[in-house]
């Protein structure tokens, strides 16, 4: 038996929502798991990359053996029903740029888990999948939108359960994702974060989170401009993400720009804007990368509202 699952890319944090907010984007990895018939063949993991969006160097971030995150996720699921995985061929068709802050790890964890769950006759419900996937990934903000799609808030509770909800995203607000050529591994980007932050910074983010939620429900552009800021992670990561401060600075006076934030742990950057003047905004972004001599791809995308789907054979 063979099952394929298509999983979207994700943008996590979205300004004030460190480890909490995320949204799904229509760039997809497809993960296929096949039970092989030959006993003793063990686990085989293959990655087929789209050469437009990745390269051999970035593929090194995906271990191909039993240390891989995808294997760990699948193993946890099997263990949860008292079994051990064996004789599986896992294939990842990779379209999501790797080590760019677009949730490529979350996508393979989610795809592997959902495919394995189908093979096993669906022993795990959505809550269990969210919980196992978050255990492997470490935080739920990429995992949740990868599974359920759309804009999501999520929280990993002390008992390992995940509280998650979809939030509405105003259609009028456009997402432009900038993906620079350089890579930044999440472990490195997390290693620069402090263990504790000043109370004033925590209060600042609590205020922005409340503003964010109110702004999306009322489509309040001015409130969103205040909301899309952060003091918990972006200031510390700035030095690892050349271009982020300059793009923020160069877009500061554009009336149609609601915010410039790091996508997840970076290095990709998300620009939230209105549709008006989009061409001008994109020109400013492009000119900024050119000035800095950094090659970057830029995608203006809608939000993916579906999340992970099992592809019928």
Interface stretch with ligand HSE, choices 13-21, 27-35, 128-136, 196-204 (CB under 6 A)? 13-21
Nearer to ligand HSE, 124 or 184 (CB): 184
Residue 185 gets the label, from left (phi > 0), alpha (psi -120 to 50) or beta, of: beta
- Cα 305 to its chain centre, rounded Å, is 14
Interface stretch with ligand HSE, choices 135-143, 240-248, 267-275, 276-284 (CB under 6 A)? 135-143
Residue 166 β-bridge partners: 152
Q: Return d(Cα 152, Cα 171) in angstroms, integer.
A: 15
Nearer to ligand HSE, 33 or 143 (CB): 143
CB of 267 to ligand HSE, least distance (A): 12
Q: Select from 190, 225, 282, 305 the one that contacts ligand HSE (CB under 6 A).
A: 190
141 contributes a contact to ligand HSE by CB under 6 A:
yes
Contacts to ligand HSE from residues 159-188, by CB under 6 A: 186
Place of tokens 């359920």: 148
CB of 213 to ligand HSE, least distance (A): 18
Q: Select from 115, 153, 233, 268 the one that contacts ligand HSE (CB under 6 A).
A: 233
Tokens describing residue 306: 């579906």
Cα dihedral sign, 110-115-118-123: negative
Nearer to ligand HSE, 208 or 233 (CB): 233
Residue 85 β-bridge partners: none
- Cα 301 to its chain centre, rounded Å, is 14
- Cα 243 to its chain centre, rounded Å, is 20
Number of helices (H), then strands (E), belonging to the chain: the values are: 11, 11
Interface stretch with ligand HSE, choices 12-20, 33-41, 62-70, 87-95 (CB under 6 A)? 12-20
Residue 180 and residue 294 in contact, taking contact as beta carbons nearer than 8 Å: yes
264 contributes a contact to ligand HSE by CB under 6 A:
yes
CB of 12 to ligand HSE, least distance (A): 4
DSSP helix/strand/coil, 78 = helix
CB of 154 to ligand HSE, least distance (A): 10
The contact set with ligand HSE (CB under 6 A) reads 12-13, 18-19, 139, 141-142, 186, 190, 233, 264-265
């Amino acid at each position: 038996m063979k099952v394929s699952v298509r999983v979207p890319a994700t943008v996590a944090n979205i300004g004030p929502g460190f480890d909490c907010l995320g949204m799904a984007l229509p760039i997809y990895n497809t993960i296929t798991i096949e039970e092989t018939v030959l006993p003793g063949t063990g686990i085989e993991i293959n990655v087929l990359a789209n050469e437009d969006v990745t390269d051999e160097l970035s593929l090194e971030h995906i271990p191909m053996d039993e240390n891989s995150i995808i294997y760990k996720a699948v193993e946890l699921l099997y263990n949860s029903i008292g079994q051990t995985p064996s004789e599986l061929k896992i294939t990842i068709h990779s379209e999501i740029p790797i080590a760019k802050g677009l949730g490529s790890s979350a996508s393979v964890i989610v795809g592997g888990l959902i495919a394995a769950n189908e093979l096993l006759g669906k022993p795990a419900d959505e809550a269990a999948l969210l919980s196992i996937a978050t255990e492997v990934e470490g935080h739920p903000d990429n995992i949740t939108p990868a599974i359920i799609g759309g804009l999501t808030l999520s929280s990993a509770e002390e008992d390992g359960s995940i509280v998650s909800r979809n939030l509405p995203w105003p259609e009028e607000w456009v997402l432009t994702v900038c993906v620079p050529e350089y890579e930044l591994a999440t472990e490195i980007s997390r290693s620069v974060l402090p263990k504790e932050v000043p109370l004033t910074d925590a209060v600042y983010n609590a205020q922005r989170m409340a503003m964010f939620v109110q702004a999306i429900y009322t489509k309040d552009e001015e409130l969103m401009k205040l909301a899309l800021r952060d003091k918990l992670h972006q200031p510390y990561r700035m030095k690892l993400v050349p271009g982020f401060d300059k793009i923020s600075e160069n877009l500061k006076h554009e009336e149609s720009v609601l915010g410039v934030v790091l996508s997840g742990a970076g290095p990709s950057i998300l620009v939230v804007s209105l549709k008006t003047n989009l061409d001008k905004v994109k020109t400013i972004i492009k000119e900024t990368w050119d000035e800095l001599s950094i090659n970057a791809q830029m995608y203006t995308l809608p939000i993916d509202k579906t999340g992970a789907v099992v592809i019928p054979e």
